[in-house]
Structures are given as C-alpha cells and as structure tokens.
Structure 1
C-alpha cells in the first residue's frame, strides 16, 4: 500500500474532499449533458450550468439536484428504459475514468485491500460509508449510510450507481461490481456484488 493511500485512509483533508467532489460533479454532469445534447438538445438548453459552492454537504446537494434534473430530462426525452440503458452505459465509462485517475493519484496496487481502501476514500467524498464482506468466492459491498440517498430520486440513483461500478473497475480492472439493492428504492441498505475476473 502506498504511503499516500495509507495516510488518506486515516485522515482526508476537507479541501481534498471538496476538490474530489467537484471533479466527480464535473465528469458526471458533463456525461449527462452530452447525452442530453445527443437525445434532447432543447432540454439541455433549458438547464442551468452546475455551479459548485458552499461546504461539502451543500456541494453534494447541488450535484445531486443537478443529476436529478438531467436524468429526468433524459427520461422525458427518450423514455425510462432507453434512458437507463444509455445512461448507465455512459455513467460506467465516466466512473471508470474517475477510478483510473484516482488509482494513479493514490498509488493503488491491483490487490483487493488497496482497492477497498481507495474506494472508502472516494466514497467519503460522497458521504457514503460501506463495508465489504466475503461470502464464499464473491464479495458483497454494503452501504449503511449514503448522503446522496437524501437527495437522489430512485431513477437518478439507479443510473448514477453505474458510475460507482465503473469507479471500482477503474481502481482494479480485475473487479466487477453490480448493485442489487438501493436505499432510494426502499432497501435498508445498498448492496452490490463484487466478482473478480477469475471468478466470472
């Protein structure tokens, strides 16, 4: 484990959390805007640019509201099923990009321990606390607390969770994650299955 990853897993400065959140907001919002430009340019023209300001929690709320508005516009334009299909595909790519960036910055090695530590740092940015349990060959990620669940609609959460799946794959390309339950859909906790390539 790199020294940087070890230090940040213990203590992450507020300024770094804000910078990371702003980067997440930038990449994911650009992705949604690109989809709207392709499928409903008139909707995109009506949307306000996302301006990140305030403390960490205020920024999370601003990002989430920006996501909600854009996801709803995409659903209105092309329907729920198609919006989820194209939205989740592109969000996975956006998350993968963020995961690769974080992997380089944090010095993440391709082992599960490093991946989980790095994911915990990135999830701290979003106000998410999780634990990982191993059940036989597969791992299960369980989210007990999620700040974004206070703001996201179920539709937005379903689409944006693909970005989380992409981040994990970007941090460690041997791992694939898929959410099965979400707090925004009434579950007590979000759960996701994580499989390594040699188990697929």
Structure 2
C-alpha cells in the first residue's frame, strides 16, 4: 500500500472531503448534462434554472448533488421512457465513474491488490457518506452498504443510474475487478448489496 493511500485511509481533512465531493458532483452532473444535451436539449434550460450552488457542509452538498441528479434522471425518463433513459444514463455514469476511479488510482498510488482496492473505495465512499463492509458469502465476494447518506435523497430511479458510477469507479481502480449492485436501500432493502468478481477475459 502506498504512503498516500495509507494516510488518506487514516485521515481525510474536511476541506479535502468537500473538494473531492465537489469534484464527484461536477463530473456526474456534467455527464448527465451531456446525455440531456444529446437526446433532449430542449429540457436543459429549465434544469439549469433549478440548479443550486454546491455549498455548505458535506451533508448539504450531498443533498444538493443528489437532488440535481434526481431532476436530470426524471427528465430523461419523461422524454425517453424508463428503459431507454436508464440504459443511456447508466452507460454515461459508468464512464464518468471509471475516469474518477482511474484518477484516484493515480493520485493515491493504488496497487493491484484487493486490499488497495478496498482501501481506496472506502476513501471515495467516505466522501459520499457511505459505509460498507466486504464479506465472503458462499464463495462469492459481496459489498454490503449499511449506511448511505445519499439514500435519504435519491429516487429509486436516480439510484439505479448513479450506482453505475460506483461500478465504474471500481473498474477504474482495478481493471481486473468488476462490481454489480443487486439490492438497493432506495428500493426498500435494508442494505445495498453488490457482487464483486474478476473481469472475465
């Protein structure tokens, strides 16, 4: 484990947490904006008019980000239909997450070990107000999210779309590992559960 990764795992100052949260918000919102501009550009102006400036403590910033995501996903579903909107938006969010994961890998010096991947993911999830544990269930590796601040704000549809960014982050942190959510708190589950496996080549 690199020194940068070890330090960040132990200590993440509030100003860095806010800065990284703002970066996640910027990239995910821009990713959804790109989809809207491509498929339903006539809805863009009304969304921008409703946007709030990202400010306040981390909790406030998360709520603003989540509600901004909610509005964009809602517009895409209204215009494109549920299945098409979710498919297109998830593809975009996976790409955004992948880039965020790759950037974090370089900045934190994340190696190829599963331990490094787990440590880096915990840092990135701390920024989002998410806590998780990794368990081996009947030979399957699963991530169990037992606390998610974003679940208080996300619609089920937005959560489905934005969870693709999480899946992209994991791939960006380690090209050999993939993650896929199976259960979500926003759908009424007590915990979010995601399966983690090696990428089939």
Measured against the shorter chain, the TM-score band is over 0.9
The match for 2:69 is 67
Instruction: Tell me which stretches of 4 or more aligned residues in structure 1 moved more than 4 Å.
Output: none
Instruction: Give the equivalent residue in structure 1 for 2:110.
Output: 108
Corresponding residue for 2:37? 37
- In 2: Cα distance, 1:22 partner to 1:113 partner: 26
CA-based RMSD of the aligned residues comes to 1.1
Aligned mates of 1:29, 1:12 — CA distance in 2: 24
Aligned-partner Cα distance in 1 for 2:140–2:9: 24
From 162, 168, 173, give the equivalent of 2:164.
Answer: 162
Q: How far is 1:15 from its partner?
A: 0.8
- 1:1-150, aligned counterparts within 5 Å? 1-48=1-48, 49-150=51-152
Moved more, 54-63 or 130-139: 130-139
Task: Report what 1:153 is aligned to.
Answer: 155
Q: Distance in 1 between matches of 2:52 and 2:109?
A: 30
For the residue of structure 2 that corresponds to 1:47, the secondary structure is helix
Gaps of 5+ in 1: none
Give the paired residue count: 199
TM-score by length of 1: 0.97
What is the alpha-carbon distance in structure 1 between the residues aligned to residue 136 and residue 15 of structure 2?
A: 33
Q: Taking structure 1 as reference, are residues 181 and 104 closer, same or farther at Cα in structure 2, changes over 3 Å only? A: same
